[in-house]
Amino acid sequence: MTDTLNYMGRLAPLSHWMLRRIALTFDAFPMPPMPPAPQDVQACAATVRRVIVFAHEHPVAHVCLAPEGRDSGDGSLIAPPSGAGRFILQLCRVGMTILPTGVCKDGGAWQVRFGATFTLAAPEGLSADERDEWASRRVMDAIAGLLPSRLRGAYQASL
């Protein structure tokens, strides 16, 4: 989960303090906001490594993540940051499956839709960047299919 709400301006340090404590309470993995500031890149990488180790050591655990890592401003889907697809592939390599979930407010009510679980293994011969894009696209397409058309954003044409 994010460890700071940057949009809070001068109150961002207070959000950092509060979100860190919430993460500790619920055994979450706090991560600097996306995209990371240059000074936060190492902290992001360390959190990713901790989650992968956790997933490997706890094969029946669940890891919840929002691949985009940030909000679009209008609530529609946006492309995940570089590395999100590789992170998801690592989680699949240690035995985790993906349960795509679409969450939105529609008609004045919150709606949650779940898709079919799946796992990923990238095709052979792809570069690291191509594997990253391939995995991100598969996951985001699965999420987009669970949302109203107006919220599919960058994944509208895929469906």
Give the pLDDT confidence of 38-64 residue by residue, as tens digits.
888 898 899 899 999 999 999 888 888
Q: What percent of the chain has pLDDT over 70?
A: 98
Q: For residue 159, is pLDDT > 70? A: no
Choice between 129 and 39, residue whose per-residue pLDDT is larger: 129
Q: What percent of the chain has pLDDT over 90?
A: 55
pTM (2 decimals)? 0.84
d(CA 65, CA 156) in angstroms, rounded, equals 21
Rounded mean pLDDT of the chain? 89
Q: For residue 151, is pLDDT > 80? A: yes
Number of H helices, E strands in the chain: 4, 2
Please choose, from the candidates 104, 101, 112, 115, the residue with its C-alpha nearest in 3D space to the C-alpha of residue 150: 104
The pLDDT assigned to 128 comes to 96
User: CA-CA distances (angstroms) from residue 19 to 46, 71, 104, 144?
Assistant: 18, 17, 23, 28
In the chain the first and final C-alpha atoms are separated, in Å, by: 29
Q: For residue 109, is pLDDT > 80? A: yes
Q: Which two tokens stand for residue 150?
A: 């107006």
